[in-house]
Structure 1
């Protein structure tokens, strides 16, 4: 198959001079759009003619509107069959799917075509019912589209135009096998269009297998060198990161912050709320309705800061984001380009700030250099540094702010129950602070006497082992042990203790002791002969159930040698140890 043919970039032209239906021209006028962006001028002639297209352009350049106009113009006034759409748009994330279908809706309605969102995290029965009634264009994530097809709720034999948006991101997320399955079910020779800010070798196999004589359009090189975007790198000390983040969040304007992990996004959002900056977290672990609600609130300007993982880095368009902050620096060039592209979109101005800790400076320097930008560097030791003033940073109020995630915004699902969420998780933030206090106390508190049997070094709140009565089993960490960090169970016997110093942290054992003591009393009341009952080993890395001790038999150690450790030798009442098989407590 021949490689994709390249055509030169086109200059922007007026939409009314293009071969578009009057209905679409009217919608564009209502939205204040008169001239096409460069990528739209380049793509539309080939797309309207039914050609296969590869398009690469900088993020925010108008790719979504380009294929929206092409598909709606092509399907204008067409009859739609039940379960058989005419067009499919595949996107990697649910957020991007919501944004794309919102873009398509007004144009589809203008030409008498229905568009339907099909994505995970939403009611599949409602989606299946909508498709069964007949829709012209489906905007879908690959997994949910396959689910509907396997249910028999969707057939792809009449699809005439297929769009794969953010094709390279599909590859990064491992969706290419699903994409291949979907394309294989669509008739060969129908129109295929691939759109992305970057097109590299990962999608070449898809292109060679499913596209026929594609035309390639590239309007800009792959870089973050947008002329209206200023780049800054702040080399900060770890102790200053929280306060620097708060100052950037308190600035005037809308700010989008990126973290590496979901827990990081929740933590940063909570820290901003604590100092008076209204912020909400967005990541893949949130219920879909809550994610839509958070995005709706940020879009309408209800709060100024959104803290997100890379789920928001690809394709999402939010107006008037004036600053992007890489709270955790990007891991590679693509990530930096896509994150940064959330600002300075469609000719607007924007600022990109990266916070680099000492061990991240060298990697950040390389990524910024590969992105083809000239970044202003500054060493920041505290939040009083003048570099923050130049970026518009301000001192936050210091008064805790209302969590914006607990408000329902226009555009959120009608049945959204915001009472089931705590937004930026206050409980986890409280646990985080409590854990920090515990760690501080562990560093200050001297080690106590030797505790715990073998395996007690990582025992849970196992408390005291049960004291063996006549023939009873000495058990370390009896009763249900608690979480990490507690004492390994300490067996009390009249005989000698067989223990060694424990390296476990000297905290968290009291509740376990109370539980164990209560268990001992219950066991004694149930078994007057003093047989040791079975009990679960201490928490954390627990041992299994202890073997039952019996009269005249050795009590067992934990089945898995859990944190309770081996019980000490139980001896006769005189306090001396005995090897008698009838009187001795088990090892």
Structure 2
């Protein structure tokens, strides 16, 4: 941990009394900013002097402006080099990257510099081209920055100042290994500034490895960030949740609602639209351009309700959010603090409401107690309860509203395909629910060995596997028709198709394997398994029309005997399958993905 440590004890100084260039003072004045927040007064003297800084501050404290002013002052009038930025800012999410670069732009322009956004979900060629022309500061998610560096489009040898923002959230998302790789490529001894709500675990390792004699600044503890808000918990009946959410959405003012899942965000937004409340959903599964457009519309006040997953819980600053609603209660204290921190920012007031179903009451009570706040509790059985009226809730119009996500707002990308916004489509919703059930059954069911009685297919040969539960076909390796305890799997085959290594619903399951012509056999086996009742053993035929043999496995109810192709009977060898048809159920893949918002 840092060798030097001190607690910030600064009152709001005037910016004009600080050692800032006149150009930056002018931009601050244009934005109506005269006095620095506590964290800005604390950090700026050390940051301007080029020292390493370690800062812990609550959300909404103004730390983005602090490092922006420091970097713009240090790089004022400097030459910009092709592919070699002078400053790098690392952030965990694309939304936060957009917000940070928007904050930096006016100050960078004032001192003759350029800032460039580098994040996943956007055109990497355009980003590489901009960096090739020369930029002063790069604001990036870790994964995309590494992509550009590996392509030779970005070099870090001239970087003089590096900022790691929301380091604890980086750790939560698994991005710190990428951050470590980036810091290792930046010259040692150059300025590093790290901002985090907590300074322990992996964050502490980063500090020890890359920061040199840092000055530590700490403002109010993280839990105190929620003490300036009014907290309410509504213990609601399941039947009343939809109407209660609609009444809160129809209130006067700007409201930010949080759900646990992407599907939940789409569903709640669609339900609000159906009763006349203009709302849009924001989550990680949206096209990046649409996410930027949705945020731009909400920021400019084009619609009053944004329904989001936790992608909007960290670092995002949206003016005049007067209420945060936890439609799905937070899972832990940290999540509750950061979600709630989207309101009551920069000294403003705000209201936080949690909707707790009967089975969620005990956990919600524990989280609220851990946040050291006094929440007002109320039992709500219907939308007519007085507690809703006290919170400003009112009955929605009742007539469907226009979807605000279908409108292009100022600040959105020039090329924006708003037709890709599908909303909460019933068919897609049903598919996602089915996929979640498949994933849950795969994660919960222990993998077992097949009984010895199971018939075997070709040794090491490639075969086509059919999923008994859904009729999916895919190319698989090593075809064996297992007994009652084996699981259905598929992996990459000759045609390059890949079946996610996921198990379907429990069916007692053996593998369905093919003979010499894998694709046709797999398709036949998949149809056969489906026709015979999702799990019964079936006969497979090889591509040459020869007689197929039946593999071992249980027939009857819930059995999952596979259909094995090939010349022989129960022990016959199966030949290599040439290809397989990918199924259409959309089961999620478990393949690891390097983070950083690529």
Q: Which interval holds the TM-score relative to the shorter structure?
A: 0.7 to 0.9
1:200-349 maps to which residues of 2 (within 5 A)? 200-349=200-349
Q: How far apart, CA to CA, are the structure 1 residues paired with 2:559 and 2:159?
A: 68
CA change 1:253–1:332 in 2 (3 A) is same
What is the distance in 2 between the residues matched to 1:321 and 1:562? 60
Kindly indicate whether residue 527 of structure 2 is the aligned counterpart of residue 536 of structure 1: yes
Q: Please show how residues 164-563 of structure 1 align to structure 2 within 5 Å.
A: 164-425=164-425, 428=428, 536-539=527-530, 546-548=539-541
The secondary structure found in structure 2 opposite 1:256 is: strand
- TM-score, normalising length: structure 2: 0.75
Q: Are 2:142 and 1:142 equivalent residues in the alignment?
A: yes
**Shift in CA distance, 431/174, structure 1 to aligned 2, threshold 3 Å:** closer
Q: Deviations over 1:399-447 (max 9, x none)?
A: 111111111111111111111222444654698999xxxxxxxxxxxxx
Judged with a 3 Å threshold, the aligned counterparts in structure 2 of structure 1 residues 408 and 240 are, in CA distance, closer, same or farther, namely: same
Shift of residue 536 of structure 1?
Answer: 2.1
> Structure 1 residues 335 and 460, CA, compared in 2 at 3 Å: closer, same or farther?
closer
Which string of whole-angstrom CA distances, capped at 9 and with x for unpartnered residues, describes residues 179-217 of structure 1? 000000001111100113333333000000000111111
Distance change >3 Å, CA 392–CA 72, structure 1 → 2: same
Mapped pair 1:44 → 2:35: no
Per-residue displacement from partner, 1:423-476 (whole Å, max 9, x unpaired)? Answer: 444654698999xxxxxxxxxxxxxxxxxxxxxxx96799xxxxxxxxxxxxxx
Match of 1:440 in 2: none
The range that moved more, 171-180 or 238-247, is: 238-247
Tell me if the contact between 1:257 and 1:327 (Cα under 8 Å) persists in the aligned partners: yes
2:128 alignment counterpart: 128
Q: Residues 534 and 308 of structure 1: is their aligned pair in 2 closer, same or farther, counting only changes over 3 Å?
A: closer
Aligned length: 476
**Equivalent position of 2:488 in the other structure:** none
Q: 1:26 to 1:559 in 2, by over 3 A?
A: farther
Q: 1:25 to 1:136 in 2, by over 3 A?
A: same
CA distance in 2, matches of 1:432, 1:101: 34
Whole-Å Cα distance in 1 between the matches of residues 330 and 99 of structure 2?
24
Q: Shift in Å at residue 547 of structure 1?
A: 2.5
Instruction: Return the alpha-carbon distance in structure 2 between the equivalents of residues 426 and 298 of structure 1.
Output: 26
1:251/1:50 Cα in 2 relative to 1: closer, same or farther (>3 Å)? same
Q: Is the 8 A contact 1:558 1:564 kept in 2?
A: no
Query: SS in structure 2 opposite 1:389?
Result: helix
Equivalent-residue separation in structure 2 for 1:562 and 1:408 (angstroms): 57
Change (3 A) 1:322 1:559: farther
Question: In 1, Cα distance between the equivalents of 2:161 and 2:177?
Answer: 20
Distance in 1 between residues matched to 2:236 and 2:527, nearest whole Å: 48
Per-residue deviation, residues 217-276 of structure 1 (Å, max 9, x unmatched): 111012145454111111111111111111111111110000111111111111111111
Report the equivalent of 1:83.
83
Alpha-carbon distance in structure 1 between the residues aligned to 2:144 and 2:432: 36
Q: CA deviation at 1:561?
A: 6.8
Counterpart Cα distance in 2 of 1:55 and 1:340: 21
CA contact (8 A) 2:535 2:559 kept: no
Partner of 2:582: none
Unmatched 5+ stretches in structure 2: 435-467, 473-505, 508-523, 561-598
Q: For residue 113 of structure 2, what is the aligned residue in structure 1?
A: 113
Is the 8 Å Cα contact of residues 7 and 216 (structure 1) preserved in structure 2?
yes
